[in-house]
Amino acid sequence: MKRSVVEQTMMTKIYLIRHGETEDADSRRYKGHIDVPLSENGIEQVKRLARHLGRKSGSGPVSGELQAVYCSDLSRARKSAEIIAAPFGLKPVITDGLKERNFGVWEGMSFDEIKEKWPDAFKAWAENPLQYSPLEGESTLAVRDRAIKAFHEIVSRHDGEQIALVAHGGINRVILCELLGIPLENIFRIEQDFSALNVIELWDYPVIRHMNFVA
């Protein structure tokens, strides 16, 4: 029987990271599965985080070496993961379960455009993202199921190690809610800025040491 993430024999540390800023980030659009590249600022954000992660002082949110880096296949996460992995001589492992939510017909649209065209649907989604989903998009439960499955599979390979998962705002929120026991209706109460770092320790139960830290 597969062990749960709280049944590790040694403490496992996970650096859960959101990718850096993307091009056209100011317009507040649902990117979803659209493959939008990092902006120049986004690249610099992740480079700062990589320098922070590469410190070996043993102080602050990070200490020691990374043993593995995982990421989604979208270029904004993949490029961020490559920058994070480079100081440790690692190559990121592409993991489908870490891919951002599919936003259906809302993909590529700005929040204002969606609110103008589908005001009731957007309001319902914003108020209860568990009960309602983006039109023709992926439900929060479906995202939770695949993201947590990927999380468990990754953790099972790295008992007692330090690893990085480079994903997306939606994926990170779902994982953090699961570990903290927060109802999924409240995913939007967790902020995930571009290049945000969340530090998770898995003991007999998960401990969130840092959340939404930006280098």
pLDDT tens, position by position, 3-51: 455 555 689 999 999 999 999 888 889 999 999 999 999 999 999 999 9
Class of domain 12-86+105-213: alpha beta
Question: Among 119, 177, 109, which residue's Cα sits nearest to residue 143?
Answer: 177
For the whole model, what pTM was predicted?
Answer: 0.92
| Type and span of the H or E element at 174 | helix 169-180
Residues identified as active-site:
19, 100
Residues 136-145 have a mean pLDDT of: 97
Percent above pLDDT 90 for the chain? 86
Sign of CA pseudo-dihedral 35, 200, 12, 154: negative
How many other C-beta atoms are found inside a 10 Å radius of the C-beta of residue 112?
Answer: 12
pLDDT number for residue 28 = 87
What distance, in Å, lies between the first and last C-alpha atoms of the chain? 39
Report the chain's mean pLDDT, rounded to a whole number.
92
Q: Do 165 and 15 contact (CB within 8 A), yes or no?
A: yes
CA distance 51 to 101: 29
pLDDT at 8: 52
Helix (H/G/I), strand (E/B), else coil: 1: coil
Confidence of residue 143 (pLDDT cuts 50, 70, 90): very high
Exposure string over 60-79, b if 16+ CB within 10 A, otherwise e: ebbeeebbbbbbbebebbbb
84-91: Cβ within 8 A, 24+ apart? 84/17, 84/46, 84/49, 84/50, 84/53, 84/164, 84/166, 85/164, 86/50, 87/50, 87/51, 87/53, 87/54, 88/54, 90/66
